[in-house]
Amino acid sequence: MFNKEKHKKEFPHVFVILLTLIIIVGILTYIVPAGQYTRVLDEASGRMVIDPNSFKYIDKTPVNLFKMFVCLVEGLIQSSNITMLIFSAFSCLYLIEKTGALDASISLMVRKTQKNPKYATGILILIMIVLSVWASTGTLSYEEIIAFIPIFLVLCLALGYDALVALGVSIIAVGCGFSSATVNPFSIGVAQSIAELPLFSGLGYRIFVLVVMTTVTITYVLLYANKVKKDPSKSIVKDENYSDVAIDEKRMNTALTKEHKISLLLLFIGIAIMAFGLIKLKWYINEIAAIFIIVSILVGIANKWNANKITATLVEGLSKGVVSALVVGFGRGILVVLTQGNIIDTIVYSAANLLQSLPPSLNAVGMLVIQNLINFLIPSASGQAAATMPIMIPLADIIGVNRQIAVLAFQFGDGFSNIFWPTGFVLIACTMAKVPVNKYYRWITPYFLIIFVMQVILILGASAINYGPF
C-alpha cells in the first residue's frame, strides 16, 4: 500500500480560464453559423456602428488549433497600447509603494484613530472616504490595501469593534471606490478605449455614483460596527479567537516624511494633469502612460534615488503588472478568434434578440447581470473589459443602449462583485483578517444585495437622463 497525497482542489488560474475560453470559442467557429452585420459611419459621433437590420449568414470560416494560438499573439499585439498603460501604471504605483509613502499615509490615519478613540466613528468615516476616493482613481486597489488588513484588524479590535469591521473599513471601502471608478485606467480606461469613447468621459455621473455608493457602504459598515461596540455578543465572529493578533510595529510606525509627502503630491498632480489633458487636450492612452512614467521618475528623484535604483524599481514594478497586462492580451485573443471565425456578429444577433424581449428600460440591467456573472470567471477589470466589451458595445448599439451606459454596466458588474465572488480577493482578505469564509458571506451578502439594487437604480437613472459620452 502507499499513501495517496491529497491535493486541495484549486480554482483554475485566470490564464487557464482564458485559454479554455479561446479553445471553446475556436470550437464554436465550427458549430455556430457565421454571420455579419454591415457597419456604417454614424455621422453624429464619427464612430462605425452596426446597421441593426443588415444581419446575414455567410460561409463558415472556422479557426483551427494552430490559428487559435496565432490569434492569441495577435491579441497581445492589438492590445499593446493598453498593455503599456498597465505596465507604466503598475510600475509607478510600485515605485511609490517602495518609497514608503503608502505605508506612511495609511499608518498615519490609523495612528490618528488610535490616539482619539472617542472620535472613532468620525475617523473611521474619514478613513473610508479617503480610501474610497483614492481607489476610484485606480491608484489604490485590492493588492495594496490587503497588506494593511492586519493593521486595521488590530485597530478595530482595540476600538471595540471586530474583524468584519476591519474588512469593511479597508477592503470594502477600497472595493467601493475602485468600482465607482472616476478615473480608473484599469477598468474605465480600458472599457472606454474599446468602446471608442473619450477617455474618462462621463465623469460627472461617476462622481455622483462614488458619492452614493460610498455613503451606502459607510452606513452599512457603521450600523454593524456600532451594534457590535454596544453589544459584543452580536458580533458575527464573536466565537473566533484573536488573542494572537499582533501588529507589524515597524510598518505601523512608518513616519510620513517630507519625501513621502512630495511623492504623494506628485502622484496627485500627475492625476490632475491627466484629467486636464483628457478633457482639454484630447489626450488618450499613450499620453496617460507617459504621465505615469514621468511621475515615476520625479518621485524617484524626490526620494534622492539614483538612476539605477529608479530603473531597477520600475523593472520590479513591471513584473507586478504582467498578469493584468497579459490577461488583456488573452482577452483580446478571444475577440480575434471570434472575428476570424465570423461568429461575433452571430452572437450579438442572438443576444440582441434575447435582450430585446425585455422592456427597453431593462436592457442595460440585463447587461449588468451578464457582467456580474462573467466576473466570477474573469475577476481582472482590464481582462474582463478586453473579453466582453467588444461584444457588449455592438450589442448596446443594436438594442438602443448608449455606449456610456454599457461601460457603466461593465464597471458595476466587474467591480462590486469582486467583494463577493471567491475568485477575486475574498479568500485572501478573510485569511488575513482571520474571518471564516462562511461568516464573511453571512455579513457581506445583505450588503451585496443592497449594493446590487443600487446599481440597478443607478443604471436606470443613467438611462433616464440618457447618460452619454460627454
What whole-number distance in Å separates Cα of residue 321 and Cα of residue 383? 12
Among 300, 327, 294, smallest CA distance to 312 is for: 300
CA dist 154 → 52, 163, 165 (Å): 57, 8, 11
CB atoms within 10 A of CB 224: 21
Among 13, 96, 159, 90, smallest CA distance to 310 is for: 96
In the Cβ-directed half-sphere of 48, how many Cα atoms lie within 13 Å? Answer: 5
Cell numbers linked to 226: 456600532
What whole-number distance in Å separates Cα of residue 291 and Cα of residue 296? 9
- Read off the amino acid at residue 266: L
Tens digit of each residue's pLDDT, the chain (470 residues) = 445 444 455 556 667 877 888 898 899 999 999 988 787 765 554 555 667 677 889 999 999 999 999 998 998 888 787 788 778 877 887 898 889 887 787 677 667 766 766 677 887 898 899 889 988 887 777 766 766 677 788 778 877 788 999 999 988 998 899 888 888 877 888 788 888 888 788 888 999 999 999 999 999 999 999 999 889 899 998 888 877 665 556 666 778 889 999 998 998 898 788 777 766 777 767 887 898 899 999 999 999 999 999 999 999 888 877 776 777 778 778 878 888 998 877 877 777 777 777 776 688 888 888 888 777 766 667 767 776 787 788 888 888 788 898 899 888 888 888 888 876 677 777 877 888 888 889 999 999 999 999 999 999 998 888 776 54
Task: Give residue limits of the domains in the chain.
Answer: 14-464
What whole-number distance in Å separates Cα of residue 425 and Cα of residue 430? 9
For residue 235, give the 3-state DSSP assignment.
Answer: coil
DSSP string, 340-386: HTT-HHHHHHHHHHHHTTS-GGGHHHHHHHHHHHHHHH---HHHHHH
Cell 520590479 belongs to residue: 316
Cell numbers linked to 118: 472617542
What whole-number distance in Å separates Cα of residue 428 and Cα of residue 420? 12
β-strand partners of 36: 56
